[in-house]
Copies of this chain bind each other. A is one copy, B any other.
């Protein structure tokens, strides 16, 4: 397989267009500057097969429930996304509002309402201002473009506390033909392994049967977006959507084609997941955490999440302190099988603890502190009990994170 990163994000695949508008859903700044872009359409020129993965939180936002229902037939044509309001915990009026958003997009584009998927992100518990959204939909619908610039504008319009837009795309050659796959994502806070708090739209011009698309999206999500954690909070709105319109004339049928498509989807989701962690609210470091030698894969994930979500471990990382004591402490309360005397912990391959106790002299400790001061490093904990393994991407916990989350009024 020949896989090459290309520009173009959500518009990289043939036949996908996007447009944005600034409707005033995001609160304007106190100084009354220009409105910020807060609504976005992603549309395929032709019908697509489609699949989605949604939050596991029992409290699900109205657009999550609507999009899941619209995806039951495995088909879609357009996605509307807004930032500034999550349309979550908004009761019956909220469900009606999500429906009306889909209806308005359908009317503006001349398609069926159940071909429209809806994603919202922003503050929970506030009714979404439909009167502002309807004109935004109409103005976006008449300015759809397939350009990379339009894709970047789309990625920017869904940002809330994100500091950078997040896009990825690649071109995959299979024999003489090629297909493209690309996407955009948002998310910086409320990020946790059971579906990161995020919205993600992935488009491809491969022709992919809906059933396989659903299966491969689930598998890839579990190994990318569901393996990142910033703050351990799993949101009400998490959504990953994939639309495949077939315009490349590459059909995904054989085992080799399926493998190539899965790898390409994994590449795009992996890029976007890393971009989300690297942009974690107020974070200063990305940590690649690997748990090895657990009794089972489930145990490995338990230990990984306990460590990655431990406030004390995350604070130590923020302070460049390679504190293996806090790491083994978190492993000990993870609820997984553990023999403290067998535990090994390493930073970038340098052992900090062996047989459950420290194993470095002053010189070695200085080296570990140097590693923990880097912007990005790996931590590996080996339990030496079995073959269970897990890999997570996580961050440190900084004073800046707390400052950013003292209230939500800025979103």
Contact = CB atoms under 8 A, between A and B. Distances in A.
Interface of A: 56-60, 86, 88-91, 94, 123-126, 189-190, 192, 194, 231-236, 309-312, 315-316, 318-321, 323-326, 328-333, 338, 340-341, 343, 353, 355-358, 397-399, 401-403, 405-409
B57 A333 contact: yes
Contact of A59 (B89, B231, B315, B340): B340
Contacts of A309: 232
A328 B406 contact: no
Contacts of A60: 332, 340
Nearest to A331: B59
A406 B233 contact: no
Q: Report whether over half of chain A's contact residues are helix, strand or loop; otherwise say mixed.
A: loop
A83 B12 CA distance: 60
10 contacts: A89-B325, A125-B358, A190-B312, A232-B311, A311-B405, A312-B405, A315-B406, A316-B407, A318-B406, A323-B408
B89 A328 contact: yes
Contact of A399 (B57, B88, B402): B402
B125 A310 contact: no
Given A232-B311, A234-B329, A320-B407, 17 more contacts: A59-B331, A59-B332, A59-B356, A86-B325, A88-B325, A89-B340, A125-B325, A125-B328, A125-B353, A194-B333, A231-B311, A232-B309, A233-B311, A321-B408, A321-B409, A398-B402, A399-B399
Contacts of A56: 333
A31 B145 CA distance: 66
A316 B408 contact: yes
Could you say how many copies of this chain the assembly holds? 2
Contacts of A316: 405-408
A31 to B, nearest CB: 22
Contacts of A59: 328-329, 331-332, 338, 340, 343, 356
A3 to B, nearest CB: 35
A326 B233 contact: yes
A42 B397 CA distance: 39
CB-CB nearest 4 A-B residue pairs: A319-B406, A124-B325, A59-B332, A315-B405
A235 B328 CA distance: 10
Nearest to A400: B399
Residue of A91, A319, A356, A357 ringed by the most chain B CB atoms within 10 A: A357
A124 B326 contact: yes
A319 B236 contact: no
Contacts of A340: 58-60, 89
A329 B235 contact: yes
A406 B321 contact: yes
A361 B397 CA distance: 35
Contact of A90 (B235, B338, B357, B399): B357
